[in-house]
Amino acid sequence: MPVILWTDAMIFLLLATVLAAALWIRKRPHLVLPWQRVAKGSVGMVSLLVLSLFVLVGLLDTMHYRAALPEKSNGQTVYSAEVLSVFDALAIGLRSRTEKTYSAPLAAYLYAKESIETTDGKIRRDYPRLLYGGAHLADPQRELQGDVLKRTVVGALVGLLIGIFLIVVGNTVIRFFVKSRIDRSSTGQEISKDGSGIFTFTKAMKNKPFRALLITALLMAMLLGVTANLAAVYHVLGTDKVGQDVLYLALKSIRTGLVIGTVTTLVMLPFALLLGIAAGYMRGWVDDVIQYLYTVLSSIPSVLLIAAAVLMMQVYIEMHPEWFETSAARADLRLLFLCLILGVTSWTGLCRLLRGETLKLREMEYIQAAQAFGVSSSRILTRHIVPNVMHIVLIAVVMDFSSLVLAEAVLSYVGVGVDPSTMSFGTLINSARMEMGREPMVWWTLAAAFGFMLVLVLAANLFADAVRDAFDPRLNRTEAVA
């Protein structure tokens, strides 16, 4: 039975909006132009590739369902109380292979000593073997290193081959589509110029962003191959206190991060856009009210405001347990509420920016020309102002994404973030607080959260930079002249 949680709905809505926007932009050459510039830069494209991998994991993790239980009651199918996602189903191995407690990455033994009863009946205190990690090895102390090395090499090769295969297949499919399109558009002469496949490939290799993209894609294919091959029999990033695979936790955290980054934007955008433009264009008392509003709001410490709102929400949820069919739904509502609160507190920056830009735009002569025609204010706002501030919105949204992902981590660490049952970078870091003080230290949870978050935020930031550069008319002037 498919389950659509609140945040799922938000994400699908967002996805639909993005797709619709992409289709809308495609028809307008002046809007396509900056995106073509993004496509020409290697940094932007490589970060987009990395980012899209994260998004893919997040989307798989967004498609939720409740599995049917084998037993039936009164002929009706009974569904399990646990809400799973497509990603959970794909990563069933990672999810189900839980150990007893901590184990280091790629280890065959537990990280804590236990009393083990040996075959000859003696009780010995030692590190016991893991249930799953390296269970196929007869003598881990001797074989472990060789086995890991072998699996790494094999994984890398297989990954590489699959990567190349996918790229070749993908290329052929795209070429087929392009070809059929050209055939249909009746200007058939262009195909003859195209030449053979090898020729176009060498030509493409000279193209710098394409080369960078190809290399990154192959490297990532190798990395994925290695990870998949190792994860089949080891815990690549170790296990946490209750024996859950940290790799699985980190991958599940991606969705939370993406939800916080994008849904919050969805919440704050209407505030920022409407209020900012209204303040800038209307001036007078409207401007005064909006300015006082955001000045007051931004001078309240946001962590305090968020903490108060989250605690209120928490109490409210706990008083009405009958509202929620599953615990996942409850955790999800809390996540959504956190997004709402973050959105409400974070619109001020963009609003201020948009107000300033609108102040500048309303003095432009084309606005005055429209006023001289008697065009109504709402029409001036939608036809003249909004299209001309859109580039700022776009840049601000992409830039805000990374800061919001980090904000979630901070809030969860403080304890006012997501539900404890929701896996997120914040909860991972929060649990690492105790582990770091432990002797011997457990470092891999923190390292995993750190690594994943770094790559995600870095990719998002680099992509935002590329987008901003592509939209900045000052940087593109020389290109336009030439």
Q: Which residues bind another protein (CB under 8 A)?
A: 29-30, 364-366, 368-376, 379, 383-384, 387-388, 478, 481-482
Taking the complex as a whole, the smallest distance from the CB of residue 465 to another protein amounts, in Å, to 19
Of the pair 30, 320, the CB lying nearest another protein is at 30
**Angstrom distance (rounded) from CA 270 to CA 266:** 7
Of the pair 124, 383, the CB lying nearest another protein is at 383
Q: Which amino acid is at 236?
A: V
Of the pair 370, 394, the CB lying nearest another protein is at 370
Of the pair 179, 379, the CB lying nearest another protein is at 379
Contact 242, 101 (CB under 8 A): yes
Taking the complex as a whole, the smallest distance from the CB of residue 466 to another protein amounts, in Å, to 19
According to DSSP, residue 134 is labeled T
Of the pair 327, 476, the CB lying nearest another protein is at 476
Of the pair 91, 467, the CB lying nearest another protein is at 467
At 109, list the tokens.
Answer: 């033994």
Taking the complex as a whole, the smallest distance from the CB of residue 368 to another protein amounts, in Å, to 6
Instruction: Give every CB contact of residue 309 below 8 A, 6+ residues apart in sequence.
Output: 337, 341
Report CA-CA distances (Å) from 192 to 170, 182, 416.
22, 11, 63
Taking the complex as a whole, the smallest distance from the CB of residue 476 to another protein amounts, in Å, to 11
Instruction: Give every CB contact of residue 168 below 8 A, 6+ residues apart in sequence.
Output: none
Q: What is the 3-state secondary structure (H, E, C) of 13-53?
A: HHHHHHHHHHHHHHCCHHHHHHHHHHHHCHHHHHHHHHHHH
Taking the complex as a whole, the smallest distance from the CB of residue 149 to another protein amounts, in Å, to 49
Of the pair 72, 477, the CB lying nearest another protein is at 477
Of the pair 211, 379, the CB lying nearest another protein is at 379
Q: How far is CA 416 from the centre of its chain?
A: 21
Taking the complex as a whole, the smallest distance from the CB of residue 84 to another protein amounts, in Å, to 46
**Angstrom distance (rounded) from CA 281 to CA 285:** 11
**Angstrom distance (rounded) from CA 190 to CA 315:** 67
The DSSP bridge partners found for residue 124 are 116
According to DSSP, residue 124 is labeled E
Q: Which residue has the tokens 């946001």?
A: 302
Break the chain down into helix, strand, coil percent, rounded to 5: 70, 5, 20
Of the pair 113, 208, the CB lying nearest another protein is at 208
Of the pair 247, 389, the CB lying nearest another protein is at 389
Residue-wise burial string across 423-452, b where 16 or more C-beta atoms lie within 10 A, e elsewhere: bbbbbbbbbbeebeeeeeebbbbbbbbbeb
Output the CA torsion 157→163→169→171 (10° steps): -130
DSSP secondary structure string for all residues of 97-110: ---SS-B-TT-SB-
